[in-house]
Chain A
Amino acid sequence: MNHSSVLQVGLYLLILFLLAWPLGRYLADLFEGRVAERCPRLAAVAGRFYRLCGVNAGQDMSWWRYALALLAFNAIGVLVVYALQRLQVWLPLNPAGMAAVEPGSAFNTAISFVTNTNWQGYSGEAAMSHLTQMLGLAVQNFFSAATGLAVAIALVRGFARRSVAGIGNAWVDLTRATVGVLLPLSTVIAVFLVAQGVVQNFAGPTEVSLLQPVEYSQPKLDADGQPLKDAAGQVVTETVTAKTQSLSMGPVASQEAIKMLGTNGGGFFNANSAHPFENPTPLSNLVQILAIFLIPAALCFTLGHMVGDIRQGLAILGAMTLIFLVMVAIAIWAEGQANPLLTALGMDGSGGNLEGKEARFGSVQSALFAVITTAASCGAVNAMHDSFMPLGGLVPMWLIQLGEVVFGGVGAGLYGMLVFAIEAVFLAGLMIGRTPEYLGKKIESYEMKMVSVVILATPLLILGGTAISVLASAGVSSMANPGAHGFSEVLYAFSSAANNNGSAFAGLSANTPFYNLMLGPAMWFGRFTVIVPVLAIAGRLAAKPRLAVTAGTLPTHGPLFIVLLIGTVVLVGALTYLPALALGPIVEHLNLFL
């Protein structure tokens, strides 16, 4: 990394922490009900809203009632998003006349957006009406982030509370997350993005003239709209001249804001944040990467405030930041190199690897974006990861496989990292022969069983899914690149789905019945096989008394614990995935440079 990239990353983190610090305090106040106490008029409006919706806001839910509420809410989401896609052709706000989405794709997309994955098998500008984007996909961008936020807060309550049965009220938490956090922040970000050039309208495709008409060939269609074939079975092509360019429009900025803030990542357009209408300038890019990490970073401060010891939150934040810095350095270095096969042909390689990158972002901002979007569970892209250099593509893939605990998704990052923290104190407890405790709560066999489920569920989905796919002809035929890179495409797809990231090595043709059906359940179980055990841990912890700190307590706020936590995360991730990574990006790197 040169001087300028160090400055870019440093300044980015500085702005991030300056914004996250007050937001973290606000989140603690909001979810502990102190904002409502301070503002009785707001509390009155909220009370009326809850009564209208039949919510018993005073009820403190047990963990399993909380989990059932979240599952029900998310299941409704799947049904509604599926229905909107299937019915969009008859619904309003469809100026481009999009047809009903095919059932397999609609099923996959519905699960994808409900689980905060935003894996996109479809191309937005060619498949979704404005109504589906707004009322289906963008709504789930809010709800899935709110779900993650609620689960994280519930887990922190498990540590903060003493000897109580409940972990909070799911309906109140979802409402506070949506209306009290995501909505106001999104509105501000959306307006800023429009000022930078992100479109926000309800128009259909807009025609503009081309300065130089372009000639191209396309398959000739018969009267039924099917491609014509000649006697030899070859598709007949015709040469056409285009004098105009159709620009896709829509309510993009409003969706873009929550897509980043909610670490969702589902682009309005196929090219996602590489599309100039989604991310037109380096400044819009900066705001987007800040939005991705904003709530995940703030939640570390929230943890500190809620357990009454800010150092605990800072330790988690420190561990995340250290892993992040190492990964960023590797990615920026890897993408700063041009492809040696291309420079050998006489191409100037001084700009780094620019295949699949936008000129306004260059290699540094593209690599930084890729690391941030995969450290979090965002999955938006401003460059095509499939065309990254082998090690530049390994970093995003491995960050996803670590479980997206480096800042991570909204809520999901914190509860994922806290699971690793429990694992870390358990390992430390084994080494020194004491009952492990974390944040004043004794960690016992029930919690460790749940932690094991969380840590083992996603590797099972990823490695199992990849193994099945590379053995099935329907899985192999979708690969776009030959050799090790084709394997990487499949491994990345399952890593991304099971960890709810949503980015892709996008050459893989994933909108096939095989991948729609394989990846849909991977996303659902990757999400809720983590959320339910985490809530179980929260419920069990909340019921325990808080232990006093003694001389025998392992301090969990110092450098020793930070190293232990990083070691646990990296060790679990390395042991689980190194063999698979060796078959993909690592062998590819050796092929390219040796």
Chain B
Amino acid sequence: MNTTTAQLPQSIWRTLLAEARPAISLFLALSLITGLAYPLLVTGVAQGLFADEANGSLILKDGKSVGSALIGQPFSDAKYLWGRPSATGPQPYNALASGGSNLGPLNPALVDTVKARIAEQRAANPAQTGLVPQELVTASASGLDPHISPAAARWQIARIAQIRGLPAERVQAIIEACTEQPAFGLFGEARVNVLQVNLALDALK
């Protein structure tokens, strides 16, 4: 094995021929292990131990799926809590085409879009005169974000309570029940699941 660099060209083909069988067989064998056996094993364990999560954390009502606890839905009706704007097309919260707006910070299209959203939020929430919460006017990364911050949820309580004829405390309690805290109180943000709040609001009779 004392081949020097100068002898390389003559040896390349001989070497490739000699290594062809291990290359192909190893490729096939390891493909079967990592490409079929592995995902099947994980699916088996997942469906056995965490069937709900493995199948999309679906929320069932009367035996029918009314959404996923992890995937947001679009809301624009004043009686509902509103979530993040979604940049997916053609419709918002299109779970077959996830993605963000990819607008850069200086892009005039971003400024115009946010300006319109702020106007819309102000019109829908006349009781609120302060700054508009950022989650309500900026698009999420996935276009499917199921959450907003507790502050952005509280901002909408007056509107929802008035339209539904509910005491504000009642709406507040539902929002708190649908709030998750950061992991270990440290990683990530506190967040309110918008769809779960709205399902709970509709369930009040």
User: A residues engaging B (CB < 8 A)?
Assistant: 4, 7-8, 11, 49, 52-56, 60, 62, 64-65, 68-69, 72-73, 76-77, 80, 123, 125-126, 134-136, 138-139, 142-143, 165-166, 171, 174-175, 178-179, 182-183, 186-187, 190-191, 194-203, 205-212, 214, 216-218, 242, 245-249, 251, 253-255, 257-258, 269-271, 274-277, 280-283, 285-286, 338-339, 341-342, 345-351, 353-362, 365-366, 381-384, 386-390, 480-485, 488, 505-507, 588, 591-592
Q: Would you give the shortest CB distance from B47 to chain A, in whole angstroms? A: 7
Q: 28 interchain pairs (CB within 8 A)?
A: A64-B8, A69-B23, A80-B31, A125-B97, A134-B36, A171-B26, A179-B30, A186-B38, A194-B49, A210-B73, A211-B75, A214-B76, A214-B92, A216-B91, A245-B73, A248-B95, A251-B39, A277-B56, A277-B70, A342-B111, A355-B103, A361-B188, A365-B187, A384-B102, A387-B110, A485-B107, A506-B100, A592-B106
From B23, B34, B95, contact of A245 by CB (8 A): B95
Instruction: List, in ascending order, chain B residues with CB within 8 A of A347's CB.
Output: 114, 118, 131-132, 134, 137-138
Question: Complex: how many Å from CA A123 to CA B180?
Answer: 30
Instruction: List, in ascending order, chain B residues with CB within 8 A of A245's CB.
Output: 67, 71, 73, 93-95
Asked whether B39 lies within 8 Å of A356 as measured between CB atoms, the reply is no
Question: Complex: how many Å from CA A200 to CA B52?
Answer: 10
Asked whether A69 lies within 8 Å of B19 as measured between CB atoms, the reply is yes
Question: Complex: how many Å from CA A460 to CA B132?
Answer: 47
Asked whether A4 lies within 8 Å of B53 as measured between CB atoms, the reply is no
Asked whether B96 lies within 8 Å of A139 as measured between CB atoms, the reply is no
Asked whether A76 lies within 8 Å of B49 as measured between CB atoms, the reply is no
Instruction: List, in ascending order, chain B residues with CB within 8 A of A355's CB.
Output: 100-101, 103, 105, 110, 138-139
Per the CB 8 Å criterion, the residue count for chain B at the interface is: 113
| Per-residue interface assignment for chain B, residues 96 to 136, with 1 indicating a CB less than 8 Å from any chain A CB and 0 otherwise | 11111111111110110011001000100000001111110
Among B6-41, those with CB < 8 Å from A are 8, 11-12, 15-16, 19-27, 29-31, 33-36, 38-39, 41
Asked whether B56 lies within 8 Å of A55 as measured between CB atoms, the reply is no
Contact A276-B35, Cβ < 8 Å, known A200-B46, A245-B95? no
Question: Complex: how many Å from CA A350 to CA B151?
Answer: 11
From A56, A271, A351, A507, contact of B104 by CB (8 A): A507
Q: Does B189 contact A (CB under 8 A)?
A: yes
Asked whether B97 lies within 8 Å of A126 as measured between CB atoms, the reply is yes
Q: Does B191 contact A (CB under 8 A)?
A: yes
Instruction: List, in ascending order, chain B residues with CB within 8 A of A77's CB.
Output: 27
User: B residues engaging A (CB < 8 A)?
Assistant: 1-3, 8, 11-12, 15-16, 19-27, 29-31, 33-36, 38-39, 41-43, 45-47, 49-50, 53-58, 64-77, 80, 84, 90-108, 110-111, 114-115, 118, 122, 130-135, 137-149, 151, 180, 182-183, 186-189, 191, 195, 198-199, 202
From A205, A346, A388, contact of B132 by CB (8 A): A346
Contact A281-B183, Cβ < 8 Å, known A49-B29, A212-B75, A245-B71? yes
Question: Complex: how many Å from CA A54 to CA B25?
Answer: 7
Instruction: List, in ascending order, chain B residues with CB within 8 A of A345's CB.
Output: 111, 114-115, 118
Question: Complex: how many Å from CA A507 to CA B97?
Answer: 14
Question: Complex: how many Å from CA A271 to CA B84?
Answer: 15
Chain A residue at minimal CB-CB distance from B107 = A481
Q: Would you give the shortest CB distance from B180 to chain A, in whole angstroms? A: 8
Asked whether A356 lies within 8 Å of B74 as measured between CB atoms, the reply is no
Asked whether B97 lies within 8 Å of A123 as measured between CB atoms, the reply is yes
Instruction: List, in ascending order, chain B residues with CB within 8 A of A481's CB.
Output: 102-104, 106-107
From A54, A142, A505, A507, contact of B30 by CB (8 A): A142
From B27, B43, B99, B105, contact of A200 by CB (8 A): B43
Asked whether A135 lies within 8 Å of B35 as measured between CB atoms, the reply is yes
Q: Would you give the shortest CB distance from A280 to chain B, in whole angstroms? A: 5
* Further pairs besides A166-B1, A248-B96, A270-B99: 20, Cβ < 8 Å: A54-B21, A60-B1, A125-B97, A135-B35, A178-B30, A211-B75, A216-B92, A245-B71, A276-B72, A285-B188, A286-B187, A341-B111, A349-B134, A355-B139, A357-B141, A359-B84, A359-B135, A485-B106, A505-B104, A506-B99
Q: Would you give the shortest CB distance from B192 to chain A, in whole angstroms? A: 8
Asked whether A201 lies within 8 Å of B74 as measured between CB atoms, the reply is no
Asked whether B114 lies within 8 Å of A365 as measured between CB atoms, the reply is no
Asked whether B66 lies within 8 Å of A211 as measured between CB atoms, the reply is yes
Instruction: List, in ascending order, chain B residues with CB within 8 A of A351's CB.
Output: 134-135, 149
Chain B residue at minimal CB-CB distance from A362 = B189
Q: Would you give the shortest CB distance from B146 to chain A, in whole angstroms? A: 6
Asked whether A360 lies within 8 Å of B31 as measured between CB atoms, the reply is no
From B41, B50, B74, B188, contact of A360 by CB (8 A): B188
From A53, A249, A356, contact of B141 by CB (8 A): A356
Question: Complex: how many Å from CA A416 to CA B57?
Answer: 42
Q: Would you give the shortest CB distance from B79 to chain A, in whole angstroms? A: 9
Q: Would you give the shortest CB distance from A528 to chain B, in whole angstroms? A: 15
Contact A360-B191, Cβ < 8 Å, known A76-B27, A202-B43, A245-B93? yes
Asked whether B54 lies within 8 Å of A253 as measured between CB atoms, the reply is yes
Instruction: List, in ascending order, chain B residues with CB within 8 A of A143's CB.
Output: 27, 30, 34
Asked whether A353 lies within 8 Å of B105 as measured between CB atoms, the reply is yes
Instruction: List, in ascending order, chain B residues with CB within 8 A of A283's CB.
Output: 183, 187-188
Instruction: List, in ascending order, chain A residues with CB within 8 A of B147's CB.
Output: 358-360
From A53, A76, A212, A275, contact of B76 by CB (8 A): A212
Chain B residue at minimal CB-CB distance from A141 = B34
The interface centre, meaning the residue of B20, B25, B34, B140 with most chain A CB atoms within 10 A of its CB, is: B34
The interface centre, meaning the residue of A49, A183, A359 with most chain B CB atoms within 10 A of its CB, is: A359
Question: Complex: how many Å from CA A361 to CA B188?
Answer: 5
Asked whether B187 lies within 8 Å of A55 as measured between CB atoms, the reply is no
Instruction: List, in ascending order, chain A residues with CB within 8 A of B47's CB.
Output: 200-201
Instruction: List, in ascending order, chain A residues with CB within 8 A of B41's CB.
Output: 187
From B8, B73, B148, contact of A211 by CB (8 A): B73
